[in-house]
Amino acid sequence: MKILIFAVALLFMAMASVAWASDTGRTGSYVKPTKEELKMLLTPLQYKVTQEDGTERPFANEYWDNKREGIYVDLLSGEVLFSSTDKYRSGTGWPSFIRPLEAENIVSVEDRKLFVTRTEIRSRHGDNHLGHVFDDGPEPTGLRYCMNSAALRFIPREKLDEEGYGKYLSLFK
C-alpha cells in the first residue's frame, strides 16, 4: 500500500512540474496542496524541510555531489530554480549554487531562528523552504545558495524537452 501511495505521489509531482513548465506565461497557476495532501505526497524528510523549514544532513542527501548537466526545480511546483552550470563544490555537503537560474522564482526572507540573522530562500509560487544564501561564495557573485536536496527535483539535460523545460537546453551547448 505504501508503494502505491508513493507511486501516486511521484506521478502527482511529475504532473504538477510538467503543468508548471508548460505554463509559458509563468502566471503562478500552481495551487499548493493542503497540509494533509502534502503529508501524503512527501516523504517525512521532504515535509520537514519544505514545510517546517528543516535541514537535511550534509553529505547524506541526493544532490550534494551530483555532477550531471541539468536544472533543479521546486519539488512540488516545478518552478525553475537553479542550473548545474551555476553549481559548485562548496565543501558544505549540500548542493550549492552561485545564483538562481530564474531569480523571479526565489523569495528571500530574514531568518533569525538560530540566534544569528540568515537569509532563507523559498520558492515563490510553491512557498517551500529551499535553504539559505550566504555571502561566502565564489566570484563572480560571491554568493552561496546552499539548498536542501529534499526540496528540489533534478531534471537531467536529456529529459528537459520531455518534461516541458526545453527552453533551458541552450544552457548546455
Domain extent at residue 48: 2-172
For residue 146, indicate whether it is catalytic: yes
- At 99-156, the pLDDT tens digits run 999 999 999 998 777 677 889 999 999 999 999 999 999 999 999 999 999 999 999 9
- From the list 146, 151, 152, 160, the catalytic residue is 146
Task: Convert the pLDDT of each residue in 45-72 to its tens digit.
Answer: 999 999 999 999 999 999 999 999 999 9
- 91: CATH: 2.170.150.20
CB 65 within 8 A of CB 90: no
Q: For residue 136, what pLDDT is reported?
A: 96
Q: How many domains does the chain have?
A: 1
pTM (two decimals) = 0.84
The span from the CA of 161 to the CA of 83, in Å, is: 15
Whose cell is 512540488? That residue is 76
C-alpha angle 30-31-35 in degrees, rounded to nearest 5:
135
Among residues 125, 169, 168, which one has the least CA distance to residue 16? 125
- The pLDDT tens digits for 2-36 are 554 444 454 555 444 444 444 433 445 889 999 99
